[in-house]
Amino acid sequence: MRSPRNLEVWKMGVVNYLDALKLQEKLVSYRKICKIPDTLLSLQHPPTYTLGKRRTDHNLLIPVSELKQIGAELHYTQRGGDITFHGPRQAILYPVISLREIGLGARNYVEKLELTMIELASLYGVKACAGQKGETGVWVGDRKIGAIGVRISYGVTSHGLAFNIDPDLKYFKHIVPCGIGDKEVTSLRRETGAVLPAEEVIREQLISCFARLFGYSSITWKESPLILSDNEEIE
């Protein structure tokens, strides 16, 4: 019988992208030496465009010099995937977990991230599915509702998924989302056309879907942990 597994969830609110990136890097280093358990960061970012390691700058359709005018930032990352947008009213999950301990390969890991968002959408009567070949993320018809971009280092994950609850979709008009042209971006609010529960309720539902699909038997919640400085350690 497999022993019970616990997931530690950090509920962090709105976090600057670079702060979240530095935190992930520190947590990954700790997870590799088993200093921390599997950890899930639940947060939002201010309006931010990120590019993956392929550096597909041509999919940013607005001059970098004009980003400040629309209240957005641009950051380069080492995750997989193409350009995407992060902003308020998205549910973002960054898992820092050991795939080796749970016996998952990279492909199965991504598939479970997709299923996490598909299951959440189904709770609201929205039929979502994984993309076709070459289409990453989760889709409702030909409209993208969730993005995935991951990094795996020695079996430990970082980055993750972003599910659109009710973000300002105008920001997506300035990019070719995930490098896929001729497709729209959508949200749970747009697809349901109904009044949704509080965002925090939806975030917790997404976390519950993640925990169930990845086989965690319990969740430990941490409310708004402080961002660690370079010299701070986790107790």
Q: What is the pLDDT of residue 61?
A: 83
Indicate the domain borders of the chain: 6-223
The reported pLDDT for the residue numbered 78 is 75
Low-confidence residues of the chain, pLDDT below 70?
A: 1-2, 54-55, 80-81, 177-180, 224-235
Q: CA-CA distance, 197 to 203, in Å (whole number)? A: 10
- Which tokens in the block code for residue 133? 């070949």
pLDDT score recorded for residue 90: 97
What confidence score (pLDDT) does residue 193 get? 86
The response to whether 227 counts as a known ligand-binding position is no
What's this model's pTM, rounded to 2 decimal places?
0.91
Other Cβ atoms closer than 10 A to 122: 12
Q: Which one-letter DSSP state was computed for residue 174? A: G
Per the annotation, does 230 bind a ligand?
Answer: no
Percentages helix, strand, coil for the chain (3-state, rounded to 5) are: 30, 30, 40
Q: Check the annotation: does 85 bind a ligand.
A: yes
The string of pLDDT tens digits covering residues 48-81 is 998 877 667 778 888 888 889 999 998 887 786 6
Rg of the Cα atoms in the chain: 17
13 is an annotated ligand-binding site residue: no
Please state, in angstroms and rounded to a whole number, the distance separating the CA atoms of residues 72 and 46: 7
Active centre residues (catalytic)? 178
Helix 106-122 × helix 199-213 angle, to 10°? 140
- What CATH class is the domain 6-223? alpha beta
